[in-house]
Amino acid sequence: METFFLAISFIIAAGVLPFLFLRSSRLMRGSAVIMTAAGGLTGLLFAARAMTTATPPAATFLLPGGLRVLMQVDAVSAFFLLPIFLVAPVAALYSFHYTRAQGPRAAAGYLFFSLLTAAMAAVVCAADITGFIIAWELMSISSFFLVIHDFGKKESRRAGYIYLLFAQAGAMVIFATFALAYGKSGSLDFASFATMPAQARILVFVLAFIGFGSKAGIIPLHTWLPHAHPAAESHVSALMSGVMIKMGIYGMVRFYAILRPPGPGCAMLLILTGAVTGVLGVVLALGQHDLKRLLAYHSVENIGIIVLGLGIGMLGAATGHPLMALLGFAGGLLHVLNHALFKSLLFMGAGSVQRGAATLNIEQLGGLMKRMPLSGTCFLAGSLAICGLPPFNGFVSEFLVYSGGFQGVANSEAQMFTALAAVISLAVIGGLAVACFTKVVGVVFLGEPRSEKAKIAPPAGRCMQAAMVLLAVACLGIGLGAPWFIALARRAAGPLLATPTPMPAPLDTAAYAIALAAAGFLLLLAILAAGRGLLAHGRPAESATWGCGFSSPTPRMQYTGSSFAAEIVGFYRPFVIIRRDFSGIHGLFPPLSSFRSHTIDLVELGIRRWLARSVMALTGKIRWLQHGHIQLYIAYIFFAMLGLLLWLMV
Amino acid sequence: MSHCADICLALIFLSVLLGMAANRLMELVKIMAFQGTIVSILPVLLEAGQRDAAGLGFMAVMLTVKGLVMPLALYAAIKKVANLREVEPFVGYRASIFSALALVLAAGFIDRTLAPFMPPTHVMLMPASIATIGAGFFLMMARRKAITQVIGYLMLENGIYLTGIALAGETHSQRLLEFGVLLDLLAGVMIMGIIINRINQTFDDVDTGMLGSLRD
Report the distance separating Cα A303 and Cα A588, nearest Å.
Answer: 51
- Which amino acid makes up residue A124? V
Q: In A, which residues are within 8 Å of B140 by CB distance?
A: 630-631, 634
Q: Per the domain annotation, does B180 fall within a domain?
A: yes
Q: In A, which residues are within 8 Å of B146 by CB distance?
A: 630
Give the pLDDT mean for A387-398: 88
CA distance B101 to chain A (A): 18
Q: Which one has a higher pLDDT value, A563 or B180?
A: A563
Each residue's pLDDT tens digit, B2-22: 788 888 999 999 999 999 988
Q: Which of B141, B211, B215 sits opposite A635 (nearest CB)?
A: B141
Report the distance separating Cα B147 and Cα A388, nearest Å.
Answer: 71
Nearest C-alpha neighbor of A79 from the set A54, A115, A43: A43
Quote the pLDDT of residue A450: 83
Give the pLDDT mean for A254-265: 87
Each residue's pLDDT tens digit, A138-163: 999 999 999 998 888 888 999 999 99
A629 touching chain B per CB within 8 A: yes
Report the distance separating Cα A579 and Cα A569, nearest Å.
Answer: 12
pLDDT band at A112 (very low <50, low <70, confident <90, very high): very high
Give the pLDDT mean for A594-614: 84
Residue B81 clears pLDDT 90, i.e. is over it:
no
Residue A449 clears pLDDT 90, i.e. is over it:
no
Report the distance separating Cα B141 and Cα B211, nearest Å.
Answer: 15
Burial of A518 by CB count in 10 Å (0-12 exposed, 13-18 middle, 19+ buried)?
buried
Count the Cβ atoms, other than its own, within 10 Å of residue B173: 12
Give the pLDDT mean for A511-535: 86
Cβ density class A621-650: b for 16+ within 10 Å, e for less = eeeeeeeebbbebbbeebeeeeeeeeeeee
B119 touching chain A per CB within 8 A: no
Each residue's pLDDT tens digit, A206-249: 999 999 999 999 988 888 898 888 888 899 999 999 999 999 99
Cβ density class A5-33: b for 16+ within 10 Å, e for less = ebbbebbbbbbbbbeebeeebeebbbbbb
Residue A490 clears pLDDT 90, i.e. is over it:
no
Quote the pLDDT of residue B143: 84
- Beta-bridged to residue A577, according to DSSP, are A600
Report the distance separating Cα A515 and Cα A458, nearest Å.
Answer: 36
Residue B137 clears pLDDT 80, i.e. is over it:
yes
Q: Per the domain annotation, does B16 fall within a domain?
A: yes
Contacts of A237 (CB under 8 A, 6+ apart): A229, A292, A295, A296, A347, A350, A351
Q: Which of B110, B137, B144 sits opposite A638 (nearest CB)?
A: B137
- Which amino acid makes up residue A445? F
Contact at CB, A629 and B149, closer than 8 angstroms? no
pLDDT band at A10 (very low <50, low <70, confident <90, very high): very high
Residue of B nearest to A625 (CA): B215
Residue A460, SS3 per DSSP? coil
Q: Per the domain annotation, does B174 fall within a domain?
A: yes
Q: Which of B137, B141, B211 sits opposite A628 (nearest CB)?
A: B211
Count the Cβ atoms, other than its own, within 10 Å of residue A369: 17
Quote the pLDDT of residue A331: 92
pLDDT band at A338 (very low <50, low <70, confident <90, very high): very high
State the Cα angle at A366 between A363 and A372, rounded to 5°: 135
Q: Which helix (H) or strand (E) holds A581?
A: strand A576-582
Report the distance separating Cα A217 and Cα A208, nearest Å.
Answer: 14
Residue A359, SS3 per DSSP? coil
Q: In A, which residues are within 8 Å of B113 by CB distance?
A: 649
B96 touching chain A per CB within 8 A: no
Q: How far apart are the first and last CA of chain A?
A: 54
Each residue's pLDDT tens digit, A347-368: 999 999 988 888 888 888 888 8
B66 touching chain A per CB within 8 A: no
- Which amino acid makes up residue A175? F
Report the distance separating Cα A482 and Cα A397, nearest Å.
Answer: 9
Residue A383 clears pLDDT 90, i.e. is over it:
yes
- Compute and round to an integer the Cα radius of gyration of chain B: 17
Q: Are A339 and A236 in contact (CB under 8 A)?
A: no
Report the distance separating Cα B42 and Cα A507, nearest Å.
Answer: 89
Contact at CB, B144 and A649, closer than 8 angstroms? no
**Predicted complex: ipTM over 0.90:** no
Residue A188 clears pLDDT 70, i.e. is over it:
yes
- A-B CB pairs within 8 A amount to 37
Give the pLDDT mean for B171-192: 63
Residue of A nearest to B111 (CA): A649
Q: In B, which residues are within 8 Å of A631 by CB distance?
A: 90, 140-144, 149, 208
Report the distance separating Cα A342 and Cα A52, nearest Å.
Answer: 26
State the Cα angle at A502 between A335 and A201, rounded to 5°: 65
Q: Which of B141, B144, B209 sits opposite A638 (nearest CB)?
A: B141
Angle subtended by helix axes A373-386 and A462-480, to nearest 10? 30
Give the pLDDT mean for A430-458: 87
B114 touching chain A per CB within 8 A: yes
Quote the pLDDT of residue B145: 77
The percentage of residues in chain A with a pLDDT greater than 70, rounded to a whole number, is 98
Each residue's pLDDT tens digit, A463-484: 888 999 999 999 999 988 888 8
Tell me the pLDDT of chain A averaged across its residues.
87
> What is the dihedral sign for C-alpha A296, A297, A301, A304?
positive
Q: Which of the 8 DSSP states describes residue B63?
A: I
CA distance B210 to chain A (A): 8
- Beta-bridged to residue A290, according to DSSP, are A361
Q: Which one has a higher pLDDT value, A560 or B181?
A: A560
Nearest C-alpha neighbor of A363 from the set A453, A232, A296, A434: A453
Residue of B nearest to A633 (CA): B141
Contact at CB, A627 and B214, closer than 8 angstroms? no
Quote the pLDDT of residue B190: 66
Q: Which of B110, B208, B213 sits opposite A631 (nearest CB)?
A: B208
Q: In B, which residues are within 8 Å of A634 by CB distance?
A: 137, 140-141, 149
B212 touching chain A per CB within 8 A: yes
Nearest C-alpha neighbor of A366 from the set A93, A558, A631, A632: A558
Report the distance separating Cα A310 and Cα A333, nearest Å.
Answer: 8
Q: Which one has a higher pLDDT value, A66 or A445?
A: A445
CA distance A626 to chain B (A): 7
Q: In A, which residues are within 8 Å of B114 by CB distance?
A: 649
Q: In A, which residues are within 8 Å of B144 by CB distance?
A: 631
Nearest C-alpha neighbor of A121 from the set A244, A37, A21: A244
Residue A546 clears pLDDT 90, i.e. is over it:
no
Q: Are A196 and A244 in contact (CB under 8 A)?
A: no
Q: Which helix (H) or strand (E) holds A69?
A: strand A67-72
Count the Cβ atoms, other than its own, within 10 Å of residue B84: 18
Contact at CB, A631 and B144, closer than 8 angstroms? yes
Q: What is the count of structural domains for chain B?
A: 1
My answer on whether omega of the bond before A591 falls inside 30° of 0, hence cis, is: no
Q: Are A296 and A223 in contact (CB under 8 A)?
A: no
pLDDT band at A517 (very low <50, low <70, confident <90, very high): confident
Residue B171 clears pLDDT 60, i.e. is over it:
no
List, in sequence order, the alpha helices (H) in A358-415. Answer: 368-371, 373-386, 393-411
Count the Cβ atoms, other than its own, within 10 Å of residue A370: 13
Q: Which of B114, B140, B212 sits opposite A627 (nearest CB)?
A: B212
Q: Which of B110, B142, B215 sits opposite A631 (nearest CB)?
A: B142
CA distance A614 to chain B (A): 19
- Which amino acid makes up residue B189? V
- Give the CB-side neighbour count of residue B210, counting CA atoms within 13 A: 14
B138 lies in which domain range? 2-211
Tell me the pLDDT of chain B averaged across its residues.
79
My answer on whether omega of the bond before A220 falls inside 30° of 0, hence cis, is: yes
Taking only residues 180 to 239 of chain A, the set having a beta carbon closer than 8 angstroms to any beta carbon of chain B reads: none
Q: Which of A626, A629, A635 sits opposite B209 (nearest CB)?
A: A629
Residue A121 clears pLDDT 90, i.e. is over it:
yes
Q: Which of B90, B114, B215 sits opposite A627 (nearest CB)?
A: B215
Residue A462 clears pLDDT 70, i.e. is over it:
yes
Residue of A nearest to B149 (CA): A631
Residue B121, SS3 per DSSP? coil
Residue B176 clears pLDDT 70, i.e. is over it:
no
Quote the pLDDT of residue B194: 66
Q: Are A602 and A575 in contact (CB under 8 A)?
A: yes
Q: Per the domain annotation, does B216 fall within a domain?
A: no
The percentage of residues in chain A with a pLDDT greater than 90, rounded to a whole number, is 34
Cβ density class B42-76: b for 16+ within 10 Å, e for less = bbbbbeebbeeeeeeebbeebbebbbeebbeebbe
B3 touching chain A per CB within 8 A: no
B132 touching chain A per CB within 8 A: no
Q: Which of the 8 DSSP states describes residue B145?
A: B
- Compute and round to an integer the Cα radius of gyration of chain A: 26
B83 touching chain A per CB within 8 A: no
A626 touching chain B per CB within 8 A: yes
State the Cα angle at A576 between A573 and A582, rounded to 5°: 80
Report the distance separating Cα A483 and Cα A310, nearest Å.
Answer: 20
Count the Cβ atoms, other than its own, within 10 Å of residue A94: 33
Q: Per the domain annotation, does B53 fall within a domain?
A: yes
Quote the pLDDT of residue A539: 65
Contact at CB, A627 and B137, closer than 8 angstroms? no
B113 touching chain A per CB within 8 A: yes
Contact at CB, A629 and B140, closer than 8 angstroms? no
pLDDT band at A345 (very low <50, low <70, confident <90, very high): very high
